Amino acid sequence: MTETLRDPEAAVIAARVDQGTGSGTATPDTEEIRDLTRSGGYRIVGEVTQTRTEDPALCFGTGKVDELARMLEETGAGRVVFDNRLGPYQTFNLGNRLPDGVEVIDRFRLILDIFGQRAQTRTAQLQVELAELRYELPRVQAKVSLAKRDERPGFMGLGEYDESREQDIKKRISRIREELRQIEEDEEKRREQRRESGFDLVALAGYTNAGKSTLLRRLARDLDVDENEHRHPDLDTTAESENRLFTTLGTTTRRADMDRRDVLVTDTVGFISDLPHWLVESFKSTLDAVYRADLVLLVVDISEPTEEIREKLVTCHDTLYERNEAPIVTVLNKIDLIDEEECEQKMNALSALAPNPIAVSAVEGAKIDGLLDRIDRELPPFEHERLVLPMTDDTMSLVSWIHDNARVNDVTYGEQVIVDFEARPAIVEQSRSKAGTLSVPAES
């Protein structure tokens, strides 16, 4: 019998939801898994969904698995992507019932594949490898356990290799965590150095495709803060924002275009729904840019259905408020896609989860000035300081430094130099320390 030649880039979507309660039934929503599948580089050629309780052996019922098998034969797809989490036993059973040559993956395996394609920095690559190992470990452990229980060393293709693989995975996880811990320490030192230089740190958070990268470009000045940092593809001067998930996994920091204070804005990887705790934890190094910011802008796509926005806000709050101490401002983006009446209705409906939000259009630049004003108000307040300094060359250098790092209200020159300014507490403290080193000129 000749094996069907399968298209490795063609995929069939499979999604199951539990039976609804009451008078209605739940309906699988496949929009996100379709976006994820396309982001992974695959062409969707079919879809099979089911509303029923989970079958422990197959996820789907046997009849629906047969329907899925027929679609795979008809389309020649080389992959079936389940929107559900599949256990190792379910994956094994599905592989036996579906046509030869079809790869079975679940949403988390797909997400890890996408992450692997996007990882360009050392930190991102380590985080992806950690997530992949944490995904693989319970599957290897399950195979070892099943083989020992059934006393069949060859069960599911097992042998001594799997027990050895389990130990190798644990050792590699330990080494990656240690390397990431060192990276996190280095990044925290960089953040503190930036604060000591007078910068406030603002982080963009939110779901993928909410417009975070577009908003970053709208807020940022043209100059890169650090030429050694990985450049975000969307920030290339000739690039357009792409409507796909996970354009980058690395954080991208830019200096905001603000006159009154120095602000650095960092864009991070977007959230997606139904992420397991182990996967979020694997990307802790990236999320630290959010957790340790002075202000978080939670970007939301206001053009989406209200209930969907509500669910995403709940997930974001669970992720952010657990470890974040900075104020969080909800930014309702994409107001250019809806009319004012709909925008007002959604703001009222979401008021409990998003009190006092600010609505903008990052694409058109609408109400961006209001967002900049809000950022200024929400960031830690500046301290007022008035220094009386001797008239020396070193004093002129200090005055220049204060101009670079603070908001100067007035400078009076005479026998003494009086500088009236406002700045972050760290800058005020540094200015006092520098002033204490100035020598009073000797009388002639």
First-to-last alpha carbon distance for the chain, in angstroms, is 107
Classify domain 383-436 by CATH number.
3.30.70
Q: Is the dihedral of CA 138, 139, 144, 146 positive or negative?
A: positive
The answer to the question of whether 200 is labelled as a binding residue is no
The answer to the question of whether 24 is labelled as a binding residue is no
Matching CATH topology for 7-115 and 383-436? no
Supply the pLDDT for residue 112: 85
The answer to the question of whether 333 is labelled as a binding residue is yes
Supply the pLDDT for residue 123: 82
The answer to the question of whether 49 is labelled as a binding residue is no
The answer to the question of whether 248 is labelled as a binding residue is yes
The answer to the question of whether 206 is labelled as a binding residue is yes
The answer to the question of whether 394 is labelled as a binding residue is no
Give mean pLDDT in consecutive 10-residue pieces for the chain, a chain of 444 residues: 75 89 63 88 95 94 96 95 90 92 92 81 84 86 70 52 83 93 85 77 87 89 42 34 52 80 82 70 72 89 92 83 80 94 94 92 92 91 90 91 87 92 86 86 58
For 234-281, write each residue's pLDDT tens digit.
333 322 344 455 545 567 888 887 877 788 898 876 776 667 766 777
Identify which of 226, 228, 252 has the alpha carbon closest to the alpha carbon of residue 239: 252
Q: Alpha-carbon distance 80 to 42, whole Å?
A: 11
The answer to the question of whether 154 is labelled as a binding residue is no
Supply the pLDDT for residue 424: 81
Supply the pLDDT for residue 360: 95
Supply the pLDDT for residue 266: 86
Q: Alpha-carbon distance 16 to 238, whole Å?
A: 41
The answer to the question of whether 336 is labelled as a binding residue is yes
The answer to the question of whether 95 is labelled as a binding residue is no
The answer to the question of whether 243 is labelled as a binding residue is no
Task: Classify domain 198-378 by CATH architecture.
Answer: 3-Layer(aba) Sandwich (3.40)
For residue 8, the SS3 value is strand
Classify domain 7-115 by CATH number.
3.40.50.11060
Supply the pLDDT for residue 222: 46
The answer to the question of whether 267 is labelled as a binding residue is yes
The pTM is what? 0.69
Domain ranges of the chain: 7-115, 120-183, 198-378, 383-436
The answer to the question of whether 346 is labelled as a binding residue is no
The answer to the question of whether 20 is labelled as a binding residue is no
The answer to the question of whether 224 is labelled as a binding residue is no
With tokens 């694409």, the residue in question is: 363
For residue 124, the SS3 value is helix
Range 403-406, long-range pairs (CB < 8 A, 24+ positions): 404/198, 405/197, 405/198, 405/262, 405/430, 406/198, 406/382, 406/431
